[in-house]
A and B are shown apart, each in its own frame.
Chain A
Amino acid sequence: MALSGMRGLSVFISDIRNCQNKEQERLRVDKELGNIRTRFKNEKGLTPYEKKKYVWKMLYIYMLGYDVDFGHMEAVSLISAPKYPEKQVGYIVTSCLLNENYDFLRMAINTVRNDIIGRNETFQCLALTMVGNIGGKEFAESLAPDVQKLLISSSCRPLVRKKAALCLLRLYRKNPDVVNVDGWSDRMSQLLDERDLGVLTSVMSLFVALVSNHTEAYWNCLPKCVKILERLARNQDILQEYTYYGIPSPWLQVKTMRALQYFPTVEDPSTRRALFEVLQRILMGTDVVKNVNKNNASHAVLFEALALVMHLDAEKEMMSQCVALLGKFIAVREPNIRYLGLENMTRMLLVTDVQDIIKRHQAQIITSLKDPDISIRRRALDLLYGMCDVTNAKDIVEELLQYLSTADFAMREELALKAAILAEKFAPDLSWYVDVILQLIDKAGDFVSDDIWYRVVQFVTNNEDLQPYAAAKAREYLDKPALHETMVKVSAYILGEYSHLLARRPSCSPKEIFAIINEKLPTVSMPTVAILLSTYAKILMHTQPPDPELQEQIWAIFKKYESYIDVEIQQRAVEYFALSRKGAALMDVLAEMPKFPERQSALLKKAEDAEVDTAEQSAIKLRSQQQTSNALVVTDQRPVNGSLPVNQLGLVRMPSQNMEASSHDQGLTKENGTVSTVDPASTQSADILGDLLGPLAIEGPPAAAVSAEQNMVPGLEATPDAAGALALATVGDQSNSVQPIVNIAERFHALCLKDSGVLYEDPYIQIGIKAEWRAHHGRLVLFLGNKNTSPLMSVRALILPPTHLKMELSLVPETIPPRAQVQCPLEVMNLRASRDVAVLDFSYKFGTAMASVKLRLPAVLNKFLQPISLPAEEFFLQWKALSGPPLKLQEVVRGVKPMSLPEMANLFASLHLGVTPALDTNPNNLVACTTFYSESTRAMLCLIRVETDPSDRTQLRITIASGDPTLTFELKEFIKEYLIMMPASTPAAAAAAPAPAAAPLQPQSPITPAGYNDPGAMLAGLL
């Protein structure tokens, strides 16, 4: 019996429940809708009770999945009913049925506002909840101030304030301007002192949204979050109502730890200590218990703590504790924990230094790849994908290939793509890569996207050593029965280009190759026919002297397709037929494909696109952005100059017109003096066929095509000068051709404050650094990563050390193989204090492009500092002992970048100066101690005192004392640089600019990669 006293509603629900089938249900629903519609039409006769009843029926019908396209007005009108039961129904049903785009909703704004600012708490709650769920922009503009007022009001009860917090969150998302960030950080900090856990839970959600957009503005809230965690973890002052199976609100604990993950780091030592104490307690103190709910709740907290520890880049010991825990989890029987273990281990991959420990679990993870649960299999696949590197690529990829044959269809495409990417990224040798891709096509052709086979063709084309191998493999596959069409495509393409390299092997004569490929012709689709036609033309061209019989066979096929319905095929047939009668000229037109320009792998791009993009920045995403991995990352690569495929197409299709157009373009660019500004967008334009379109369509290197057509195109005569001049300009203007894609100065400064990250990156190379410091010794490792499929040559790295540093760089190999990363350790020893900076003079050759760059190395003064904290007596004793210059220097610094004391304390902490609070009785002063290490001074104590003026933050007085006059002076100047302006303007910028290449370059021959990237230069080489 329905208790709510709406008999009609219960009867209706019973009726629906008794329906035997969907059809009956629909009839019953239609009848009811008709009934409601008529009742609403003569609204005068409706009592509020009846209205309420019908509106619930509408909601019920809507929930069942039927369209309810009327009666919205009635639902909204209940909002203004004077009595609670009707009003409540109005608000709830409105927020279920409508969304922010409905016009009547706007009409209700005034009523809603009156409820919000009225005195009735229950009305306030209803209104806040509805706005919180569906409020739009207009609501944000007209209600934000009222809602804010309620949230911070001390006279408001918690039940209203908790709703106000989430309502404000909605309004903030609809219009961020309604929350003024500057003013809010203090309010937020006060709100986080809240005692009521309901309010605190809501406020924490609001806080997460605010801090995810403006971390810097909310530094002051960080200690508050730690306090909340302490309060919960120690179970202090928590109402019984808020403990769940003995655990103080697991949801608030989780949310608070999530909020903390938006702060890049916790600088303040005492806050950090407190936080790590809590985290340690969670890590150690979470046991497996019998009660499922308790177990889940405590592990919810544990997993969030793991995520936070990873994010904070804790001490090594704690990290290995985390990996150990995760290792345990991925082996348990409980599927939820196993799933989460795998998921979190994948996140852990972002942390430096633990990859090796994770690798120890490889066998276990591979077992999970065969778990009966697809959710777990997916996690295992992701983890294997993430942990793959050069050392284990072979094992992992082969495991994936094996799994491919049995994997469910839902996963095959993803699996195929991932295997292809890993094979490409970490191939120990390229022939293995070719093997993997061919196997992939063979086993799961339906799931291998075109991008995958385009990519293998590119690799083969760009690596001569690989061509005979690939051709032989392709030939082998053709013998297999029931070949997948993609395999026909790739085999035909490769054999067309390179089958002549197999000439002396058994059953590899042009005739035999043609015959076996031609067997497939009747069964393949049109795009494949087009490829086969090109292959035939190529085979003809490679058969010298011509074999009349073969020629006849192929010509017959061309003839047959001359009147084919598909234009592409028809055109190819006609053109190839005509060309192949030209005799020797055919050689030029159909010569081997030139190398492809280096560019981002379409596969990797696809993988990136596939990553989910949610509107709000998630903590994980932020984390991965902050994380500067040393792993080799292939980023978007612009072709060095100009655009190849587009022009290629133009050259063949409409020779004269396009030649002029393109040379004209080049002329223009030359005038601007910046060759590299030719818009590369067109290169990467929306060619559906992706990387291969140009080449596939034209079947010949542009250079050869030009020379072949040259005589026929009178318009060309005008171009040599322009193009020639351009080529010279390109050469002379080398520095333009390789541009860093990161801000070098910024990178340097970032690395001064942390120990690992990317120092330099351009389209070809990425240089990463990882450093460890111990007293006056340091060990830096340079990671030189070649991002391309061709080697980097003449690599040279010279260290220009300042006099105070002794530096020794291990041997840097002259060549970095394609896609490889080499590590070069660099030993550093500090002799004495100085602010001079070491420079790395780095150069390499890519094709004919020479790149040379001078990079400052982050082996700076603060790296040799170690913060300490001294007890007061000790400090004052030392302070007094070091009296006056030159051991103690004092200076009034003006033009200081205004910052609050906590900000300054953070800055000091990142410079390795240990701020000691409460040593100085004046709250506007800051006292710090640190130890400096160098060979001449050994460990030497430095004392720092900063006196600030709260009324003028642009000036302060700094006093530095140490037992070494040079150290005192250098440290003072060093700190000043950071105080006056944040590092961006420090001197020595000169060293950052990439120097133009010194090596004189010969005029380019058309076969060099640079030539291909620049049609102008290519022409110049020809003419």
Chain B
Amino acid sequence: MGIRFILLVNKQGQTRLAQYYEYLTLEERRALEGEIVRKCLARTEQQCSFVEHRNYKIVYRRYASLFFLVGVDNDENELAILEFIHLLVETMDRHFGNVCELDIMFHLEKAHFMLEEMVVNGCIVETSKTNILAPIQLMDRAS
């Protein structure tokens, strides 16, 4: 399966973006988000970027006030996912210009469009920023 979910959560633990690649009920999501946010946000800079949770792993990275949490299968290549997070951030940066939490909040749909171009069914589909952003730019130009 690969990637099970991608979560963007701020320092206060509020979800800013959530994309699941396996179906969870709302209660399950709530519980899961609560647990992993508690686990990851409590960690310090000196600790590693991987947290084992239930039967999978969370690979996470912090950018200013925002945490990017990616749930992956145990045998996934952790560093590759860690850099995939950075690729996502760079892609957002290229589009928004110095992306911040508010950009993502108020442009939820854009964030979803980008993810949609980068991941399908839990697998990485595209890693070229130009290609990822092409449909969004097309739309911006059209409107």
Contacts and interface: CB of A to CB of B under 8 A. Distances in A.
Interface of A: 2-5, 10, 13, 17, 56, 59-60, 62-67, 84-85, 88-89, 92, 96, 99-100, 122, 125, 128-129, 132-134, 159, 162-163, 166-167, 169-170, 197-198, 201-202, 205, 239, 241-242, 244, 249-252, 254-255, 258, 293, 296-297, 299-300, 303-304, 335-336, 338-340, 372-373, 375-376, 378, 612-616, 618-620
Contacts of B46: 335, 372-373
A784 B116 CA distance: 56
Contacts of B130: 241
Contact of A201 (B43, B126, B138): B126
B108 A60 contact: yes
A166 B121 contact: yes
A133 B120 contact: yes
A375 B87 contact: no
Contacts, number: 177
A941 B85 CA distance: 57
Contacts of A163: 120, 125
Contacts of B129: 241
A532 to B, nearest CB: 39
Contacts of B80: 250-251, 254, 297, 300, 304
Interface string B5-16: 000000000010
Given A133-B121, A251-B84, A373 B106 contact: no
Nearest to B123: A205
Interface string B100-137: 00000111111011001000110111111111001100
Contacts of A303: 77, 79
Contact of B1 (A167, A255, A616): A616
A293 B105 contact: no
B29 A65 contact: yes
B124 A251 contact: yes
A92 B1 contact: no
B130 to A, nearest CB: 5
A60 B109 CA distance: 10
Which A-B residue pairs are the 8 nearest by beta carbons?
A300-B79, A335-B48, A241-B128, A612-B55, A205-B123, A99-B23, A300-B80, A373-B47
B66 interface: no
A208 B79 CA distance: 19
A244 B87 contact: yes
Given A336-B49, A618-B73, A129 B79 contact: no
A198 B126 contact: yes
A99 B20 CA distance: 11
Given A85-B139, A242-B127, A293-B86, 17 more contacts: A13-B108, A17-B105, A56-B108, A60-B108, A63-B17, A133-B21, A133-B120, A159-B134, A162-B125, A241-B128, A251-B84, A304-B77, A336-B82, A373-B47, A373-B48, A376-B48, A616-B1
Given A2-B106, A618-B74, A169 B121 contact: yes
A729 to B, nearest CB: 48
Nearest to A83: B142
20 contacts: A2-B107, A4-B110, A5-B143, A13-B105, A122-B138, A133-B121, A166-B125, A169-B123, A198-B126, A201-B124, A201-B127, A252-B127, A254-B77, A293-B86, A296-B83, A296-B86, A300-B77, A340-B79, A375-B51, A378-B52
A128 B129 CA distance: 20
Interface in B7-58: 15, 17-21, 23, 26, 29-30, 33, 43, 46-52, 55-56
Nearest to B59: A336
A162 to B, nearest CB: 5
A5 B130 CA distance: 24
Given A335-B48, A336-B50, A249 B127 contact: yes
Given A63-B18, A375-B47, A4 B75 contact: no
A211 to B, nearest CB: 14
A67 B26 contact: yes
Nearest to A295: B79
State which size class the interface on B falls in. 35 or more
A443 to B, nearest CB: 24
A205 B48 contact: no
A244 to B, nearest CB: 7
A336 B79 contact: yes
A339 to B, nearest CB: 4
Contacts of A258: 77
A795 to B, nearest CB: 40
Nearest to A304: B77
Contacts of B23: 99-100, 134
Contacts of B15: 63-65
Contacts of A3: 107, 140
B19 A96 contact: yes
A251 B106 CA distance: 30
A206 to B, nearest CB: 8
A66 B29 CA distance: 11
A406 B21 CA distance: 39
Nearest to B2: A205
Nearest to B112: A92
A339 B1 CA distance: 23
A132 B140 CA distance: 25
Contact of A4 (B29, B107, B142): B107
B89 to A, nearest CB: 10
A166 B123 contact: yes
A617 to B, nearest CB: 10
A41 to B, nearest CB: 23
A702 B26 CA distance: 55
B48 A339 contact: yes
A924 to B, nearest CB: 40
Given A166-B120, A372-B47, A84 B112 contact: no
A290 B105 CA distance: 33
A965 B81 CA distance: 61
Contacts of A297: 79-80, 83
Given A167-B120, A293-B83, A65 B47 contact: no
B83 A300 contact: yes
A336 B106 contact: no
A161 to B, nearest CB: 11
Contact of A299 (B19, B55, B79): B79
B48 A375 contact: yes
B47 A335 contact: yes
A252 B80 CA distance: 10
Contact of B108 (A59, A159, A614, A618): A59
A375 B128 contact: no
B78 A336 contact: yes
Contact of A132 (B33, B83, B86, B121): B121
Contact of A56 (B2, B43, B84, B109): B109
Nearest to B29: A65
Contacts of A339: 48, 50, 78
A125 B73 CA distance: 27
Contacts of A304: 77, 80
B132 to A, nearest CB: 9
A336 B48 contact: yes
- Report which residue of B51, B80, B112, B128 has the largest number of chain A beta carbons within 10 angstroms of its beta carbon: B80
A162 B48 CA distance: 33
B113 A92 contact: yes
A296 B109 CA distance: 30
Contacts of B116: 92, 129
A338 B48 CA distance: 8
A89 B138 CA distance: 15
Contacts of B83: 244, 250, 293, 296-297, 300
Contact of B143 (A85, A250, A293, A619): A85
Nearest to A56: B109
B121 A170 contact: yes
Contacts of B47: 335, 372-373, 375-376
Contacts of B52: 375, 378
A663 to B, nearest CB: 47
B106 A13 contact: yes
A23 to B, nearest CB: 15
Nearest to B21: A133
